[in-house]
Chains A and B, each alone.
Chain A
Amino acid sequence: MLHTPSGYWDPLLWILALIVAILIAYIIRGFGRKDYKGGEQSKPFLSGMDIPDEKELHIRAGNIYWGFMEGLEGYYDIMKKIHTGVVNDYVAWFLGVSALLFIVILIVGVT
């Protein structure tokens, strides 16, 4: 058991609770219709479009979280500009941070 400032964390207890929850879910599932075999409701929904053959269906990594990246376009534009891949820039960032630390620790910092 791991004690934290506001309580504790017991993974074994958590696993026990998870097993109980799964059992309850399994029991509830048992109340469902046994004769339900499919139909329209069991098909995946993709914005009303026809679904290609399930065996060939795969969304590539480049298309995942497209909306998130679009929403944060401004942020990612800045990030792309910063990450030039040029080692001279890496050194410049190091020197810049060092200069900032000098200012903060030598001038701003009060002992």
Chain B
Amino acid sequence: MNMNWLLTHSPALLIAIPLLAAFLTPLIDRLSKRARNVLVLIVLITVEVVMIVLAWDVFTGNTHIYTMGASNPTATIPVQAAIPIRIVLEVDGLSAFMGLISATVSLAAGLYSLAFVRRETGQGRYYTLLLLMLVGMLGMEFTGDLFNLFVFLEILSIASAALIAYRFYRGDAVEGAFKYFVISSLGALMVLFAIGLLYGQYDLLNMAALAKVMKYTMLDKIALVLFIAAFAMKCGAIPMHMWVPDSYTVAPASITAMLVVASQVSLYALFRICFSLYGLTLDVTTVGIIIISLGLLSMFVGVTMALPQKDIKRLMSYHAISQTGYMLLGVGVGLYLIGKPEFSTYGVVAMEGGIFHIFNHALYKGLLFLTAGAIFYKVKTRNLNEMRGLAHSMKFTAIFFMIGAFAIAGIPPFNGFASKLLIYESVYCVSPILSIIAMLVSIITLASFVKVFHSAFMGPPMRNTKEGEVPKSMLIGMVILTVGIILFGLFPGWVVDHIVHPAAQALADQAAYIQAVIGG
């Protein structure tokens, strides 16, 4: 197996490996728990390594195309046909960027889970579903086919719902999963209906082929509305966010970290539909304003709702909504400015800020949820009123929490500051109010995390709590994300130039997306 073979087949392998391992896991679980854990870890590490290799190749300018089932995977259009018929995977800068996020957070979550769910039953099913979540995320990120997007969305939603209800003996976990399932099913139905509208009109499911012939008819507009509403709800945009705190709070912490990424994958789908499928055919001003408005609402309502919360994970869930607002704002401004003279100076930077924030958010919010899980692991409560002085016994968790809190609040030199700075300085072009609200939200975010830190970690030590830190595998999971936060914070220029810029460029350049599949 040489490097070229690996690179050629990596888009399919990245989906196939965790998919096969997911179905192998329950079988191996019956033989040995240790072997099951080893298998899951090997798969997660393999996916991370292959993803890094693929992403690096993509970031240096090579978009990867993979036609499923074809003797030549790069031949998207069969000899007898004029359009792509088979399922095509298209890994461009943005897909690779999102794939890196999914693989990294899944690895951290998998490592963390080894100790975190050690005392639970049904671990075979847990790891099967965790791997299926990864499959769903990578599939949605890589696919160039609309119906395939729906299939992977369903895989992701079903696996997520089952994992939210993992602690089914707690009533709130089942309730959270039920709400997530209802909302996800509704969203998926809307997506399916929208795909049906486009297929009925154009006889096409391939996104690049559809983008080439898109006319923005009345039916296309209806499909667009359904796509925007469904994916905005799935990414937790206000006012369709209410499922987020209900589901994130009750899921195991490792799964909550993955749910954050799952929501960002829906955000990716939203951006992909707007930029790559519709592109300049749509009314960019109107749709741009819609996305900016959703972003502003999410930022402000999310953070103000986080402030009074007493459940640590519920508080963090509202912050997840608020941070999604930054991404919507940045990329929304990019969409609003596309085709205008300001796009090259401000629009690109706004998109880079929004996209950079996706990675940063996955790292620090993933870390914060893992620290919340570590606290729950030790004190068996999520209620901040019942905590105090945990820094006495959980020194590493306290440090990880501080780093995550500084990052989410946009305190330099952590990674959150770099992406927020890009957003502040670019969205100003549309209106200074946007920058002011974004900065105000950061201040309230800091205030909110000061409250959490004071409540949980400061003060006299808790009585009746076991001394000592959480197990090492949980700490290693947190270390992975912490290292990412620090490195992205210290070298933001390198990250933006080599990782974020190719992703933003891939999103903005619809012609390149079409050409990679259709040619000419």
For residue A64, which residues in chain B have a CB less than 8 angstroms away from its CB? 451, 454-455
Q: Is A31 an interface residue (CB 8 A)?
A: no
Minimum distance in angstroms from B342 CB to a CB of chain A: 10
CB atoms of A106 and B451 under 8 A apart: no
For residue A83, which residues in chain B have a CB less than 8 angstroms away from its CB? 242, 305
Q: Is A82 an interface residue (CB 8 A)?
A: yes
- Residues of A1-56 contacting chain B, CB below 8 A: 1-6, 9-12, 14-15, 55-56
CB atoms of B225 and A105 under 8 A apart: yes
For residue A3, which residues in chain B have a CB less than 8 angstroms away from its CB? 493
- Residues of B486-514 contacting chain A, CB below 8 A: 489-493, 496
- Within the assembled complex, what's the spacing in Å between the Cα atoms of A106 and B345? 31
- Within the assembled complex, what's the spacing in Å between the Cα atoms of A65 and B460? 21
Q: Which residue of chain B has its CB nearest to the CB of A12?
A: B490
For residue A90, which residues in chain B have a CB less than 8 angstroms away from its CB? 179, 182-183, 240, 242-243
- Within the assembled complex, what's the spacing in Å between the Cα atoms of A5 and B344? 11
CB atoms of A58 and B447 under 8 A apart: no
Minimum distance in angstroms from B248 CB to a CB of chain A: 14
CB atoms of A108 and B301 under 8 A apart: no
Q: Which residue of chain B has its CB nearest to the CB of A85?
A: B246
Most B CB atoms within 10 A — which of A60, A79, A82, A91? A60
Interface residues of A (CB under 8 A from B): 1-6, 9-12, 14-15, 55-62, 64-65, 68-69, 72, 75-76, 79, 82-83, 85, 87, 89-91, 93-94, 96-98, 101-102, 104-106, 108-111
CB atoms of A4 and B308 under 8 A apart: no
Minimum distance in angstroms from B403 CB to a CB of chain A: 14
Pick from B225, B385, B447: contact of A98, CB below 8 A.
Answer: B225
Pick from B182, B239, B384: contact of A91, CB below 8 A.
Answer: B182
Known: A87-B178, A111-B283. 18 other contacts (CB 8 A): A2-B418, A2-B422, A4-B426, A11-B413, A11-B492, A57-B459, A60-B385, A60-B455, A65-B307, A65-B451, A69-B307, A79-B305, A83-B305, A97-B239, A98-B229, A106-B222, A109-B286, A109-B287
Q: Is B116 an interface residue (CB 8 A)?
A: no
Main secondary structure of the interface of A (DSSP, over half): helix
For residue A14, which residues in chain B have a CB less than 8 angstroms away from its CB? 412-413
Minimum distance in angstroms from B358 CB to a CB of chain A: 17
Pick from A11, A75, A102: contact of B225, CB below 8 A.
Answer: A102
- Within the assembled complex, what's the spacing in Å between the Cα atoms of A3 and B239? 34
Main secondary structure of the interface of B (DSSP, over half): helix
- Residues of B237-285 contacting chain A, CB below 8 A: 239-240, 242-243, 246, 282-283
| Size class of the contact patch on chain B | 35 or more
**With contacts A61-B455, A89-B242, A102-B222 known, is A11 near B412, CB below 8 A?**
yes
Pick from A55, A60, A75, A94: contact of B460, CB below 8 A.
Answer: A55
- Within the assembled complex, what's the spacing in Å between the Cα atoms of A15 and B414? 11
Q: Is B467 an interface residue (CB 8 A)?
A: no
**With contacts A9-B421, A59-B454, A94-B233 known, is A1 near B221, CB below 8 A?**
no
Q: Is B138 an interface residue (CB 8 A)?
A: no
Interface 1/0s, chain B 347-380, versus A by CB < 8 A? Answer: 0010000000000000000000000000000000
- Within the assembled complex, what's the spacing in Å between the Cα atoms of A86 and B425? 40
**With contacts A98-B226, A101-B225 known, is A61 near B310, CB below 8 A?**
yes
Q: Is B394 an interface residue (CB 8 A)?
A: no
CB atoms of A72 and B304 under 8 A apart: yes
Q: Which residue of chain A has its CB nearest to the CB of B461?
A: A55
For residue B178, which residues in chain A have a CB less than 8 angstroms away from its CB? 87
CB atoms of A2 and B492 under 8 A apart: yes
Pick from B226, B286, B349: contact of A4, CB below 8 A.
Answer: B349
Q: Is B216 an interface residue (CB 8 A)?
A: yes
For residue B179, which residues in chain A have a CB less than 8 angstroms away from its CB? 87, 90
Interface 1/0s, chain B 379-396, versus A by CB < 8 A? Answer: 000001101110000000
CB atoms of A106 and B243 under 8 A apart: no
Most B CB atoms within 10 A — which of A58, A61, A110? A61
**With contacts A58-B389, A90-B183 known, is A65 near B447, CB below 8 A?**
yes
For residue B31, which residues in chain A have a CB less than 8 angstroms away from its CB? none
For residue A89, which residues in chain B have a CB less than 8 angstroms away from its CB? 242
For residue B232, which residues in chain A have a CB less than 8 angstroms away from its CB? 97
- Within the assembled complex, what's the spacing in Å between the Cα atoms of A79 and B241? 13
Q: Which residue of chain A has its CB nearest to the CB of B488?
A: A11
CB atoms of B240 and A2 under 8 A apart: no
CB atoms of B286 and A97 under 8 A apart: no
For residue B492, which residues in chain A have a CB less than 8 angstroms away from its CB? 2, 9, 11
- Within the assembled complex, what's the spacing in Å between the Cα atoms of A12 and B493? 11
- Within the assembled complex, what's the spacing in Å between the Cα atoms of A56 and B413? 34
Would you mind naming 23 contact pairs between A and B with Cβ atoms under 8 Å apart?
Answer: A4-B422, A9-B417, A11-B412, A11-B490, A59-B455, A61-B384, A61-B385, A61-B387, A62-B384, A65-B307, A69-B307, A75-B304, A90-B183, A90-B242, A90-B243, A91-B182, A91-B183, A93-B240, A94-B186, A94-B229, A102-B225, A105-B290, A106-B225
Minimum distance in angstroms from B245 CB to a CB of chain A: 8
For residue B491, which residues in chain A have a CB less than 8 angstroms away from its CB? 11
Q: Is B218 an interface residue (CB 8 A)?
A: yes
For residue B388, which residues in chain A have a CB less than 8 angstroms away from its CB? 58, 60
Pick from A9, A65, A94: contact of B308, CB below 8 A.
Answer: A65
CB atoms of A79 and B310 under 8 A apart: no
Q: Which residue of chain B has its CB nearest to the CB of A103?
A: B225
Q: Which residue of chain B has its CB nearest to the CB of A111?
A: B283
For residue B150, which residues in chain A have a CB less than 8 angstroms away from its CB? none
Minimum distance in angstroms from A68 CB to a CB of chain B: 7
Minimum distance in angstroms from B161 CB to a CB of chain A: 13
**With contacts A3-B493, A91-B182 known, is A105 near B283, CB below 8 A?**
yes
